[in-house]
Amino acid sequence: MSYKQWNALIMVTSALVISAWVGWGLATDGPPADVSAGAWQMLWAIAYVIVFNIVASIVVTIVVSIVQREELVDEAGDERDLAVSARSMRNGYAVLSVATAGIIIALAVGLDPVLVPHALFGISMLAGGVFAASQLVYYRIG
């Protein structure tokens, strides 16, 4: 796998792991007391995603470099990379747009505003996961 594919795999994994952790917390602890508490929870979740991605990138780079006996480097981008990125971004933005509209509709019909930070985090993770998963698929078939 290339550096770009490993990065996409790390992004998909972090979106799944951190989203599952947030969902588990919401399911076991219930909704936060107020919107501010929910926003703080999601700010911490975003920080965990960032740390997870950094640590996983370092670990994967080291392990893959040891296994391959050569440095895992990011190769120069070409037309294929631009096409993969553009198609993947299109998929991610489509999911983000539809899901954002869904949240607005849900608010209009009575969604408790205390859940909005979690919903925004969820759709961000979903859109990012679709973007990264699309990259993996397009690199495999392209």
> Would you state the pLDDT for residue 75?
75
Start-end of H helices in the chain: 3-29, 35-68, 79-108, 116-141
Under 8 Å between Cβ of 132 and 53: no
- List pLDDT tens digits, range 50-108: 999 999 999 999 999 999 888 877 777 789 889 999 999 999 999 999 999 999 999 99
What is the value of pTM for the model shown?
Answer: 0.87
- List pLDDT tens digits, range 102-125: 999 999 999 999 999 999 999 999
Distance in angstroms (rounded) separating the CA atoms of residues 105 and 103: 5
Distance in angstroms (rounded) separating the CA atoms of residues 56 and 26: 25
Instruction: Scan for tokens 């992004």, then name that residue.
Output: 11
Instruction: Scan for tokens 């096409």, then name that residue.
Output: 83
DSSP 78: -
Domain count, the chain: 1
> Would you state the pLDDT for residue 140?
87
Across 19-23, 80-84, 138-142, which has the greatest mean pLDDT? 19-23
Per-position b or e across 110-133, b if 16+ CB within 10 A of its CB? eeeebbbbbbbbbbbbbbbbbbbb
Domain extent for 79: 3-141
> Would you state the pLDDT for residue 142?
63
> Would you state the pLDDT for residue 78?
84
